[in-house]
Amino acid sequence: MSDKLVDFHCHLDLFPDFEAKVRECDDLGIFTLAVTTTPRAWRRNEELASKTRHVRAALGLHPQLVASNGREIDLFEKLLPLTRYVGEVGLDAGPRFFRSMPQQREVFGRILDACVSGEPKILSVHSVRATTEVLDMVERRLAGSGNQVVLHWFSGTRSEARRAVELGCWFSVNAQMMAKPKSKEIFAAEVPLEKVLTETDGPFSETNGKSSTPSNARESVMAFAAAYGLSHADASSQVLENLRTLVG
């Protein structure tokens, strides 16, 4: 099992060869969470993923699309009982999306509330320049609910990482984010290795100048290993054990 890869956050449907990518993940045994950016995209992802052993489709409403697609929150709530996985959701307070923050808060709040009202979910959460606010909402709305939050491409501070750990959050890391010395330091100091998964965020990250694909989760494992002083084999085994713990 130690040679198996985990890509816990990848936009498979944004690759031009979407169906082939799903088959490739399954054929290679890459445990892949196919996140979606709008609820309308979920059904096709679910249709393809449901035929595989290794791919799961997550129901999403990306914070960067809330300004244009926020009304799809109604569809999100309708579809939510059909899946265990949620993503990509969250908040983005970056300059391009700051104006939509009031609407983002409303949508993310409804998503969290909906997750509490049914069977517990596993959420892949975006928190660019909004980590404290995301954690505030998670603490206030999900406490004691059994839902599991995985902070995708975490870019917060050391104190925010510590607080996220205290709240029981998980983290998914990729090679591009872990190439930053600050990220390495934060994870090594504050995040237990038992709470880390690997991701690629393909096609939005790059490996060797090209869009990352799930097979590039190998580089994510290498980055995780370097941050924690582990061998590649031990890091790979740890990620798989973490995945088993998370998904039960």
Binding site for a divalent metal cation, by residue number, is 9, 11, 88, 126, 152, 201
Name the binding residues: 9, 11, 88, 126, 152, 201
Among 201, 124, 106, CA closest to 169: 124
Q: Which helix (H) or strand (E) holds 149?
A: strand 148-152
Contacts of 33 (CB under 8 A, 6+ apart): 7, 8, 9, 10, 56, 58, 85, 87, 124, 199
Contacts of 27 (CB under 8 A, 6+ apart): none
SS3 at position 60: coil
Is the Cα dihedral 176, 180, 181, 183 positive or negative? negative
